[in-house]
Amino acid sequence: MNTRCHSSKQHLSEIYFTLSHQHEAMTILENSTLKIAVKNNGAELCSLYNKQSQIEYLWQAGKEWPKHSPVLFPIVGQLKNNTYRYQDKTYTLERHGFARNLAFTVTEVKSDSIRLTLKEQDATLAVYPFHFKFDITYQLHQNTLKVVFDVFNSGHDVMPFSVGAHPAFKVPLLKGENYNDYFLHFNKTENSGRWLLQNGLLDSEVEFFKSSNQLPLTKELFSKDALVFKRLQSDKIELRSKNHDHGVAVYFPSFPYMGVWAASGADFVCIEPWHGIADSIHSNGNIPEKEGIILLQQDENFKAAYTIEVF
């Protein structure tokens, strides 16, 4: 990867370039501590590198899961039968929506931030009949990365949507460690249950936390798919090791749902703040009535942000 340093005086054309060996447009952004890489495709963060500790924090899209940090829009999770109804018409929409598979346009690059934009197109209108502008901004500040989702309804109808994050963090972070050396630390004591999934759909809630703020990581933890939470008290989750003080914190104020997941046998864990959630096995398919759906009025916008801190 080209890792040339870019000063604030350099132009967008110098910062924005194509990695020819990957055939993907990608932007590198860095400050004195962090260096990130963001792909046009899906506006996906694909590297979060601490230059001082020389630690890469993101999963590097291995064979177990070929993603890094996909963006979930205009739905989060699975729809029942991969379909929904709107105004007496039925549409097909795959899990997590289409944004993660479409090319965004880089609309602004500054010394400390990059903004990428997706708008409706023929392919999206065929499965999601709404006009929109979806901006994602990645902003660096010291050892933190702030990710801002901004959704604007540019159509005439009320627009139902969900949006969410899916960053996958490397576990272990350092060589010579094991997956079981790591745990998740929640900033408040939790008594929440987890929601079980049946073929990607919400089934029932079972007991999980019992006055605890720590979750030891094991690969067996995700044998029944993601851990899905609806009522966490915490708004920060830290990935930590028993062996050292390096780790990562995800701050997610105002996000009502959280998923924690890893692919079978993979060396990562996803900490996923969501504004939206998968369908229930009992869903009626009518998208304006879907749990967690946001109904955005004409010419209105919705904004939400989460922050990743590395240490």
Confidence check: pLDDT of 69 > 90:
yes
Q: How many residues in total does the chain contain?
A: 311
What integer is the mean pLDDT of 88-117?
A: 97
Q: How high is the pLDDT of residue 9?
A: 34
Residue 106: name the closest of 137, 72, 139 by CA: 137
211 Cβ contact list (under 8 Å, min separation 6): 189, 190, 191
Secondary structure letter of residue 292 according to DSSP: T
Structure tokens at 223: 């044998």
pLDDT band at residue 7 using 50, 70 and 90 as cut-offs: very low
In the chain, where the domains are located: 12-310
In tens, the pLDDT along 114-168 reads 999 999 999 999 999 999 999 999 999 999 999 999 999 999 999 999 999 999 9
Q: 55 in the Ramachandran plot: left (φ > 0), alpha (ψ -120 to 50) or beta?
A: beta
In tens, the pLDDT along 200-257 reads 999 999 999 999 999 999 999 999 999 999 999 999 999 999 999 999 999 999 999 9
Q: Lowest mean pLDDT: which of 2-6, 266-270, 275-279?
A: 2-6
pLDDT band at residue 112 using 50, 70 and 90 as cut-offs: very high
Backbone angles phi, psi at 63, to 5 degrees: -65, -25
Q: How high is the pLDDT of residue 11?
A: 35
Q: How high is the pLDDT of residue 24?
A: 76
The fold of the 12-310 domain, in CATH, is: Beta-galactosidase; Chain A, domain 5 (2.70.98)
pLDDT band at residue 21 using 50, 70 and 90 as cut-offs: very low
- pTM, whole model, 2 decimals? 0.92
In tens, the pLDDT along 272-294 reads 999 999 999 999 999 999 999 99
Q: What is the mean pLDDT of the chain?
A: 93
Euclidean distance between CA atoms 31 and 269, whole angstroms:
26
Start-to-end C-alpha separation, the chain: 23
What integer is the mean pLDDT of 18-41?
A: 81
The fraction of the chain above a pLDDT of 70, given in percent, is 93
